A and B are shown apart, each in its own frame.
Chain A
Amino acid sequence: MPAITVDGLTKTYGQTLALDDLSFEVEEGEVFGFLGPNGAGKSTTINVLLDFVRPTAGRVEVLGLDAQTHSREIRSRTGVLPEGYRTYERLTARQHLEFAMDSKGVDDDPERLLERVDLADAIDKKAGGYSKGMAQRLMLAMALVGDPELLILDEPSTGLDPNGAREMREIVRQESERGATVFFSSHIMEQVEAVCDRVGILREGEMVAVDSVAGLRESVSDGTVLRVTVDRLDDDAVEAVRSLPDVSEATVESEAPPTLAVRVDGSKTDVLSELENQGLEVRDFSTSEASLEEVFQSYTTEVGAR
């Protein structure tokens, strides 16, 4: 049984289409990275999962339960780190956690929870004096109350320094080992890469790709860029390279030293021999894998805009 099933989900706010016939599944026990630029509809999707907003059309199930009619049960079995929240400034970290425990009807140890998120020092301080990073750690601790089956983390790295972000990923990994399903959203590819089993990329309310990080990297067809430094530039030679079957793009990258950038899918030697056939001398060449950022961008920017 999938932990999350989204089927044909559409949400409009007045004239604005926030989600357009969105469908995807999150398997039980996996860490799923929900990726997309700001405004792509990530938070709207999460808001529907938690019944904060109601879908215009479509069906959403969480833990096998209808997200609207069984929202209470879903939330009792789910830990949530929401986005755009504000802590209760007159309550301490301990009181926040006690409220979460009260609400879920579970017993847990506030000190242990706060130690996990490295906030034990501030247990009896009022949240009004917390930095953004401390508030984020507190919310993560609240999400962990009662060892939930599912964790929904909306932009969990917000406000965390690199060290905090690393600790957060470590907790995600521990929770995953415990058997929890983790659904977490981000607009930064690097943050999901290290921990996610699969990644879904959302663009303008539509899922444009769902795959493992490696799979995504491979699926970007213009994956490898070959940079060739030659003795001189020649338009005919560039045209000849461009017409090779495995080459999708060939451009002059710089005049001095004369360098060509060639996006190539298959054999790189074909490109080099073609250049030599055209009478150019290859002085140097290098290849680079598409960076994750390029993969992300290739999915989240309009095709043809490049």
Chain B
Amino acid sequence: MSTESETETGTADRGTTAPSSSITLESVRAVAKKDFQDSVRSWLFWGLSLFFFTLLVATTGVVSYFGEDLAAQGATTDVLVGFVSEITRLIIPLIALVLGWKAIAGERESGSIKILLSLPHSRKDVLLGKLLGRSAVLSLSLTLGFVLAAVVVAVLLGGFDVGDYIGLLAVSIVYGIAYTSIAVSLSSLTRSTTVAGAAMFGVFILFYVVWNALTSVASLLADRGIPFFDTISYTTEVQGQEVELERLPDWVYFVVNLDPGEAYGRTLTLVTDTDMIELQAQLNEEMFGGELPFFLQDWFALLILVFWIVVPIAVALYRFDRVDL
């Protein structure tokens, strides 16, 4: 296809501005600003902020009502982070997918992308601007909700761990950007919002149905002695007794951990002191004879989140430059 022969060595090489497929910050900023203004009905932004505020305040209320013992142990922020993250783990992807699914497909379907690209923006600028604009909607509403709720939380709990609270906010923002990147990128692969919507649904099913079943499926396969699913035995001490247990192979845990939601939980255990975050794969050092492989350690989960931001948008940047609108 001739589009593949697109090179920077055109016959007429007299251009003075940046090359056509490059990224310029002013363009990204202009597109992001426009997108922020246009994509968000103001009630949506305030609604999201209110939602996060309510989530935090309600959870705090429950914790402070039922958790007098916890308060005595000074563990209330842990509990709050634990509860809230259970909900945000599910809700943030939904919000990001809904915010992002029309980002590019919608503009291509309606033709408004012709306005964007009649102006001197590269397609990469448009993609990055969209990612930035939509990420800003989610991040700013999260931040606003958290900041407003902080006062109420502090009053209800009688003081709280600022580090854990900010940690939860920061990791939630990274998690939100990861799903926004997935949404905007998928949206750039099609001209049809129907297809884009189906793709968003597919992502949700993939990570919330398929991925959640992985450990069970792997165990079943291991029971039947399917190659590559062989379990590994290890010994641990239960009530002073040495017992021999079996675990799944390393790579299964790695695949399980690739789920952005799992990475979100693991990153939270890293940046906060909370030890009550529920994860699909409970890992401990004994299972691996003393030390976890690096790719199963908590710090690696942060890399996985970054992976989910970088890789989808990188694929989209590459491909969107090469298609007819």
Write out the residue numbers on chain A whose beta carbons fall within 8 Å of the beta carbon of B119.
75, 99-100, 103-104
Cβ of B69 within 8 Å of any chain A Cβ, yes or no, is no
A29 to B62, CA, bound (A): 73
**Which chain B residues border A73 with CB–CB below 8 Å?**
15-17, 20, 120
- In the complex, whether A76 has a CB less than 8 A from a CB of chain B is yes
Task: Bits for A79-91, please: 1 = Cβ < 8 Å to B, else 0.
Answer: 0101111111111
Kindly identify which residue among B3, B22, B114 contacts A52, using a CB–CB cutoff of 8 Å.
Answer: B114
Contact partner of A142 among B15, B41, B115, B122, CB < 8 A?
B115
Q: B30–A66 contact, CB under 8 A?
A: no
Chain B: interface size category:
35 or more
Using Cβ atoms and an 8 Å threshold, which residues of chain A touch B7?
69
CB within 8 Å of A: which B276-325 residues: 322, 324-325
Is B15 in contact with A65, judged by CB distance below 8 angstroms? yes
Q: Is there contact, CB below 8 Å, between B112 and A69? A: no
* A76 to B20 CA separation, bound complex (whole angstroms): 11
Number of chain A residues whose Cβ lies closer than 8 Å to a Cβ of chain B: 45
Q: Quick check: B8 and A75 within 8 Å, CB to CB?
A: no
Q: Is B114 a contact partner of A82 (Cβ separation < 8 A)?
A: yes
Q: Which are the 6 A-B pairs with shortest beta-carbon distances?
A: A66-B10, A69-B10, A80-B118, A76-B120, A103-B119, A82-B114
Among B31-39, B204-212, B257-265, the stretch in contact with A:
B31-39
Question: Which residue of the partner chain, among B3, B15, B26, B34, contacts A69 with CB atoms under 8 Å?
Answer: B15
A54 contacts across to B, CB distance below 8 A: 2-3, 6, 322, 324
A78 nearest CB across to chain B (Å): 8
Q: Which residues of B contact A61 (CB under 8 A)?
A: 11-12
B239 within 8 A of partner (CB): no
Q: In the complex, which residues 2-47 of chain A have their Cβ closer than 8 Å to any Cβ of chain B?
A: 13, 47
- Mark A152-193 against chain B: 1 for CB-CB distance below 8 A, else 0: 000000000000000000000000000000000000000000
Please report A residues at the B interface, Cβ cutoff 8 Å: 13, 47, 50-57, 59, 61, 64-66, 68-73, 75-76, 78, 80, 82-91, 95, 99-100, 102-105, 139, 142-143
Q: Establish whether residues A82 and B111, one from each chain, have CB atoms under 8 Å apart when the complex forms.
A: yes
Cβ–Cβ contact B8 & A69, under 8 A: yes
- Smallest beta-carbon distance B150→chain A, Å: 31
- Complex contact A104–B6 (CB within 8 A): no
Whether B114 lies near A84 (C-beta < 8 A) is yes
CA distance A51 to B20 in the complex (A): 10
Interface residue B73 (Cβ < 8 Å from any Cβ of A): no
Across the interface, name the chain A residue whose C-beta is closest to B110: A86
The residue that A82 contacts in the complex, of B11, B30, B38, B115, with Cβ under 8 A, is: B115
Q: Which residues of A contact B33 (CB under 8 A)?
A: 99, 102
The reply to whether the CB of B27 lies closer than 8 angstroms to some CB of chain A is: yes
Contacts of A55 in B (CB 8 A): 2
Chain B, Cβ-Cβ closest to A77: B120
B19: Cβ under 8 A from any A Cβ: yes
**Does B151 interact with chain A (Cβ within 8 Å)?**
no
Q: Complex Cα distance A70/B20, Å?
A: 5
A72 touches B111 (CB 8 A): no
C-alpha gap A76/B18 in the complex (Å) = 11
Cα-based distance from A70 to B3 in the complex (angstroms): 15
Q: Which residues of A contact B11 (CB under 8 A)?
A: 59, 61, 66
